[in-house]
Structure 1
């Protein structure tokens, strides 16, 4: 997803504490760098193989899915071209 490049140190913004109502505060540096503003809607996605969570904007998720679909389309085209060559 956008913003998911660089070393782990560049992507680590600190830790947060879950409050009584289940709320967390996203560190200010992360909000600035990722352009997260008051009122923005974020998706909360659980990782199927771990106890981790991913937060991302709907737009960033759309861009990620669009990139995946481009890869699928290229793979389908290549597979079609290879089967025509046989």
Structure 2
């Protein structure tokens, strides 16, 4: 992994035969991602892939759909 400024990370991951990737420990620690936590994957053909904690969107979705 490459040495980067605090709060930043650059590295590489490999996609396994089942389409899985491993989120590096440094990134899991940076974002407090715990074992078993649900994440949401957002993809845009032009902008790429983003991964966020599901809890971030759960609150947002409840506000929209439970009104």
TM-score between both structures, scaled by the size of structure 2: 0.67
Looking at both structures, which has the greater relative contact order when contacts are Cα pairs under 8 Å and sequence separation is at least 6? 1
CA RMSD of aligned residues (A): 2.3
Aligned residues: 56
Is the radius of gyration larger for structure 1 or structure 2? 1
* Runs of 4+ off more than 4 Å: none
More helix by share: 1
More strand per residue: 2
* TM-score in terms of structure 1 length: 0.54
Query: Any stretches of 5+ residues in structure 2 without a counterpart?
Result: 61-67
